[in-house]
Amino acid sequence: MKILFIGDVVARAGRDALAKYLPEVRKELSPDVVIVNGENAAHGIGINDKICKEFFDMHVDVITLGNHAWDQREVIPYIEKEGRLVRPINYPEGTPGKGAYIHELSGGRKIMVINAMARLFMDPLDDPFAAVDKIVRAHPMGKAVNAIFLDFHGEATSEKMAMAHYLDGRVSAVIGTHTHIPTADSQILSGGTALQCDAGMTGDYNSVIGMKIDTPIIRFTRKLSMERLSPADGDGTMCGVYIETNDANGKAQKISAVRRGPRLLNA
């Protein structure tokens, strides 16, 4: 199975970059499934139903979220009825939406997409290791599904790497999101799980993690937070990861970074 994952889409610059570069990457790589993290897509915080529909119209198959899942309130009724929009699985019981979605490809192959949120330097949610372990045990690769993809949304690379090793051989890939900076550690672990600690953001990299530069500098140098952060609105770069798996056992056979845009080295 060919899996294309695109990291955090940030505001208009990110949405424009996705619309511009996704078609050419699809043509080049012919992915079977496209997964996009959209938790920053609406003006840098959250997502709404209109943007979800825009992504689905671009032939995005599944959208994952993170700590900004609920920043646009209109997404709450939408996520209840749209299974392709996946929020972190370790939110408390009763939270709207679902933490995983099984996408069926033509021909009957299936991939389970899971979203989880880390806890180190993040909101104190339920244990992500226990939550992911439970659903993975219930849907073993090679039997219930052909592949399992985990978007692990968190700050600390140590927690992301620990999750990948914890699940090694039981999921196809553990790809990190949230820091908005692509890491250079693309690898396949000994058990067959692909890992990259962060896919990077899709947005304007002439910024501070997608936000206009001046306000973050003032916050760091003067300890003032009087102005709201505003998304950078220059030309965006699309960042993500491409993975190929063995349909028989779900294990990864290839992983490589994907980057298209004006500022980072294209890959």
Residue-level pLDDT at 176: 98
The catalytically annotated residue of 68, 103, 178, 180 is 68
Unique residue bearing structure tokens 């306000």:
215
Rounded distance between C-alpha atoms, residue 205 and residue 201, angstroms: 8
Rounded Cα–Cα distance for residues 249 and 40 (Å): 33
The 3-state secondary structure of 15-73, one letter per residue: HHHHHHHHHHHHHHHCCCEEEEECCECCCCCCCCHHHHHHHHHCCCCEEECCCCCCCCC
* pLDDT above 70 as % of the chain: 100
Average pLDDT, integer, range 105-124: 95
Domain count, the chain: 1
pTM for this predicted structure: 0.96
222 in a structural domain = no
Distance, in Å, from the CA atom of 199 to the CA atom of 26, rounded to the nearest integer, reads 17
Whether 73 maps to a domain, the answer reads yes
What pLDDT shows up at residue 154? 98
CA distances from 57 to 34, 107, 254 (A): 12, 22, 28
Residue 209 pLDDT greater than 90, yes or no: yes
**pLDDT the model gives residue 227:** 79
pLDDT value of residue 160: 98
Domain that holds residue 165: 2-203+239-260
Question: By the 8 A CB rule, do 175 and 199 touch?
Answer: yes
Tens digit of each residue's pLDDT (9 = 90 or more) over 53-87: 999 999 999 999 999 999 999 999 999 999 999 99
Distance separating alpha carbons of residues 184 and 246, to the nearest angstrom: 24
Count the Cβ atoms, other than its own, within 10 Å of residue 219.
Answer: 15
Domain assignment present for residue 209? The answer is: no
175 found inside a domain = yes
Average pLDDT, the chain: 96
Residue 197 lies in a domain: yes
Q: Which residues contact 123 (CB under 8 A, 6 or more apart)?
A: 67, 117
Does any domain span residue 212?
no
Q: What is the rounded average pLDDT of the residues 133-156?
A: 98
Helix (H) / strand (E) element for 253: namely strand 252-260
Question: What pLDDT, on the 0 to 100 scale, is given for residue 225?
Answer: 72
Give the pLDDT of residue 106.
87
Across residues 97-121, what is the average pLDDT?
97
- Answer whether residue 214 is part of any domain: no
- Calculate what percentage of the chain has a pLDDT beyond 90: 94
pLDDT at 228: 84
Tens digits of residue pLDDT in 220-252: 998 777 778 899 999 999 999 999 999 999 999
Per-residue model confidence (pLDDT) at position 79: 97
Please check whether residue 95 lies inside any domain of the structure: yes
Asked whether residue 21 carries a pLDDT value surpassing 90, the answer given is yes
Mean pLDDT computed over 135-157 = 97
What's the confidence (pLDDT) of residue 223?
79
pLDDT digit string, tens, across residues 174-189: 999 999 999 999 999 9
> Sorting pLDDT into bands at 50, 70 and 90, what band is 110?
very high
Query: Is 68 a catalytic site residue?
Result: yes
CATH number of the domain that residue 243 is part of: 3.60.21.10
